[in-house]
Amino acid sequence: MTGKAKIRLFVDAPLGQGQSLSFSRDQAHYLTGVMRQKLGARAAVFNGHDGDWL
C-alpha cells in the first residue's frame, strides 16, 4: 500500500493491483454517512489475507 488513508475497511474479496471493488450498501453508508468521506477520498481496504490496499 502506498500513501496514507484515514479510513480502513474490511472487505470479503481477494485484493490485488488493478482490481476494482464493489462495496455493500452498509459499507457505502459507513464511508459516506458515518465517516463523511467524499468521492475521491482514500480508504485502505483489507481482507485478512492480502494485506492493506489503498
Give the CATH number of the domain where residue 47 resides: 2.40.240.20
Please give the pLDDT value at position 6. Answer: 81
Overall pTM > 0.95: no
Domain tally, the chain: 1
Contact (CB, 8 A) for 46 and 8: yes
Q: Is residue 47 part of a domain?
A: yes
Q: How many residues can be counted in the chain?
A: 54
pLDDT digits (tens, 9 = 90+) for 2-47: 567 788 999 999 999 998 899 999 999 999 999 999 988 889 999 9
Q: Check whether 1 has a pLDDT greater than 60.
A: no
Q: Tell me if residue 1 falls in helix, strand or coil.
A: coil
Q: How far is C-alpha 20 from the geometric centre of its chain's CA atoms?
A: 10
| Structural domain for 11, as ranges | 7-53
Q: Is residue 2 part of a domain?
A: no
Q: Are strands 43-46 and 7-10 parallel, antiparallel or unpaired?
A: parallel
Does the CA dihedral 15-18-24-26 come out positive or negative? positive
Please give the pLDDT value at position 3. Answer: 61
